[in-house]
Amino acid sequence: MQNASAPHSAAQPAGQPVAQDQPRRTIALVDDDRNILTTVSIALQTEGFATRLYTDGDNALKALLDNPPDLAVCDIKMPRMDGLELLRRLREQSDLPVIFLTSKDDEADEALGLAMGADDYIAKPFSQRLLLARIRAILRRSEIVRRDIVAADAEAPEALPDPIRRGRLVMDPARHVVTWNGKLVSLTVTEFLILEALAVRPGVVRTRDQLMNAAYHDDVFVDDRTIDSHIKRLRRKFRAVDSQFSAIETLYGAGYSYSEE
């Protein structure tokens, strides 16, 4: 096997042609288990993706920042730099979508990873079909945001969706820009969609299932802890620019709502 510490992108398998005007999406795989790297990479390439392989976070970090893929799938437990530290450093400079691979006994790490800004996680052992479904779901959401940004640059202002204004909150869906009291708040795609689902109807309680549907738009199972962790990270980001932020309210046993100030 080729040294997995270096990026690797295999040719498209026979029978899986890719249109010239539709370049393949690139998935970075970061895991110290070379068997997982090999089998997942083959599965992704068979489905039309290009892959880059890294055996630890230390080797992956610079490459992910200098030449970002469309999405990264990262193991948590790795030598030299684990997945949590890799994510922490990525989030200082990038909103690259990240899916964590975890072990069944890594519940604390899963929650911490989501709180730090991971988009999703999958527990090992996992089915390749489930991983592919999660990857496609996140890429679709990212593509929607990218198309809106392109449209915002190309279309007449009257053709764009209106910004959402709720008190000190302003959300611009066309540009994926959020401000609070005039200060920029950087959100991942998942965080943006969850906040948007809450802000469009202030005071209305959204269940976790409703927020999952708003954020994922796919028949993909995501447990309650995932939504709770995204909400905690949203609050943390807004409190970084306003320590008194309290617009996202919890109705215990029911869900969350946005309180327009």
Residues 54-80: what's their mean pLDDT? 91
Q: What is the pLDDT of residues 138-149, one digit of tens each?
A: 887 677 545 554
Q: What is the pLDDT of residues 70-124, one digit of tens each?
A: 999 999 888 889 888 999 999 888 888 899 888 755 666 666 777 677 888 888 8
Residues 37-51: what's their mean pLDDT? 94
Q: Which has more pLDDT, 125 or 28?
A: 28
The predicted structure's pLDDT at residue 149: 46
pLDDT band at 19 (very low <50, low <70, confident <90, very high): very low
Is the confidence at residue 39, as pLDDT, over 60? yes
The predicted structure's pLDDT at residue 245: 95
d(CA 161, CA 158): 8
Residues of the chain with pLDDT > 70, as a percent, come to 75
d(CA 44, CA 48): 7
Q: What is the pLDDT of residues 182-236, one digit of tens each?
A: 998 988 778 888 999 999 999 999 998 888 888 765 555 556 677 888 898 899 8
The predicted structure's pLDDT at residue 127: 82
Classify burial at 62, counting beta carbons within 10 Å of its beta carbon; exposed 0-12, middle 13-18, buried 19 or more.
Answer: exposed
Instruction: Please say whether the beta carbons of 151 and 176 come within 8 A.
Output: no
The predicted structure's pLDDT at residue 50: 95
* Triad 186, 121, 117: Cα angle to 5°: 15
Name residues whose C-beta falls within 8 Å of residue 112's C-beta, 6 or more positions apart in sequence. 84
Residues 38-65: what's their mean pLDDT? 93
